[in-house]
Amino acid sequence: MGLCLGLVWTPCVGPTVGAATTLASQQTQLVHVALLMVLFGIGASTPLLVLGGLSRKAFQRLRGPLLRVGKTGKRVLGGLVMALGLAILSGLDKGIEAWLVDLAPGWLNELSTKY
């Protein structure tokens, strides 16, 4: 969520922080710059705090089901890793790779070997 919010905010944050940094580097109107940055910080943090509080409540409700799914997912992924390891040790992975290359469309094979 933070990454998406950062991508959305980037065009808005740049001019504000840039202007404040420029004013601060000139060492003039430092009180104005400090006030601007404090207000900007409050404005930027308020939605994050609200979203954090709301998402915490949602995750608390979903905690039990997520833990059960996670436990099952660990076992499934562990089994897949073990199967992959055995395939590599036995050399079976090369046969599977050749079979998948034969099944793949020509454009995909061309793309994967082009670069």
Q: How far apart are CA 12 and CA 14, in angstroms?
A: 6
Domain boundaries, the chain: 2-114
> Within the chain, which residues score under 50 in pLDDT?
none
| Per-residue pLDDT tens digits for 21-48 | 787 788 777 887 788 788 878 887 888 7
Q: Are 91 and 85 in contact (CB under 8 A)?
A: no
Torsion angle defined by CA atoms of residues 23, 8, 51 and 19, in that order, rounded to the nearest 10 degrees: 0
pTM of the entire structure?
A: 0.42
Predicted confidence at residue 40, as pLDDT, reads 79
Predicted confidence at residue 72, as pLDDT, reads 94
